[in-house]
Amino acid sequence: MTAAAPHPSITVDVVSDVVCPWCYIGKRRLESALAELPDVDVQVRWHPFFLNPWVPREGISRDEYLTKKFGSVEAYGRISGRVVETAAAEGLEYKPGSVKRQPNTIDCHRLIHWADASGKAAAMKQRLMELYFRDGGDLTDPEVLVQAAADVGLDAEDVRRRLASDEDVALISQQAEAAARAGVSGVPTFILGGKYGLSGAQPADQLAAAIRQVAAELATQPQ
C-alpha cells in the first residue's frame, strides 16, 4: 500500500499592527483563506509594526490623533464608512466613534510576543483588536491590557509585572524597525514562504490561491 503524500507546508509571516483596521480585516481574511486549505500545512507567525510610531507611549486623545493624521475628526468620519462596511462584510464590528484614546502599540506587541510562547499569539492579537475596534477599549491602560491577557489564558499577575518593566521593549522595537528597513510600509503584509510578499487585506480566495501556489512551488524545490 502506497503511503499518502505529505501535505505541502508553508510559513506565512504577517506584519501588522493592532490599531490598523485593514489588519483587523486582513486577519479575518487570512483565517478564511486557511479554512480553504485543509490540505496545506500553514504556520502563521505574527510580527510587530508601528502604524503610528510618533504616538507617545502614554497615547493621545483620539480627536488629537485624527486631526493630526487626517486633518480633522470629520475628515476621518467621511472616509471610515468604507472600512466599517468592509469589516462588517467579514463579520467584524468596527465602531470608530467608540475609540477615545489612540495608543502607542508597543505594549500590545509585547503581549502578543509573550502569548506566542504558549501558542496564543493569534488569540491575543484578536482580543486586542476586538477591544480597540469593537469595544473602544483604552489600550494605554495597563489594567485593560492585563485583563485582555487574562481573557486568553495568560497569568494576570505575571503580565502585570512584565508590563511594568522594560522587558522586550527593545526587542519589539528592533523587530518593527527591521520590517520597515525590509521595505514594509503598508500593513498588513503577508510574506509567503519567506520569499513572496503580499501587501494589503487581500480577499480570502486570492490569499488562499497565493498560499497554495507558493506552497506547491516550495514542495518541488530540493531540500
Domains defined for the chain, CATH in brackets: 9-219 (3.40.30.10)
Q: What is the average pLDDT score of the chain?
A: 96
Q: What are phi and psi of 16, to 5 degrees?
A: -160, 175
- Give residues with Cβ within 8 angstroms of 136, minimum separation 6: 95, 98, 99, 100
Residue 2 is predicted with a pLDDT of 47
Of the candidates 89, 67, 121, which has an alpha carbon nearest to the alpha carbon of residue 21? Answer: 89
* Angstrom distance (rounded) from CA 123 to CA 126: 5
**Percent of the residues in the chain that have a pLDDT greater than 90, as a whole number:** 95
5: pLDDT confidence band, cut at 50, 70 and 90? low
Average pLDDT score over residue span 160-171: 98
Q: Positive or negative, the Cα torsion across 141, 147, 153, 154? A: positive
Per-residue pLDDT reduced to its tens digit, 100-122? 999 999 999 999 999 999 999 99
Q: Which residue has the higher pLDDT, 2 or 143?
A: 143
pLDDT in tens, 8-41: 999 999 999 999 999 999 999 999 999 999 999 9
Which residues make Cβ contacts (< 8 Å) with residue 13, sequence separation at least 6?
A: 44, 45, 47, 190, 191, 194
Q: Over 90: is that where the pLDDT of 188 sits? A: yes
Least confident of 3-7, 69-73, 129-133: 3-7
* pLDDT higher than 70, residue 134: yes
Give yes or no for residue 56 having a pLDDT over 70.
yes
Using the predicted structure, report yes or no on whether residue 1 has a pLDDT greater than 80. Answer: no
Say what the pTM is.
0.95
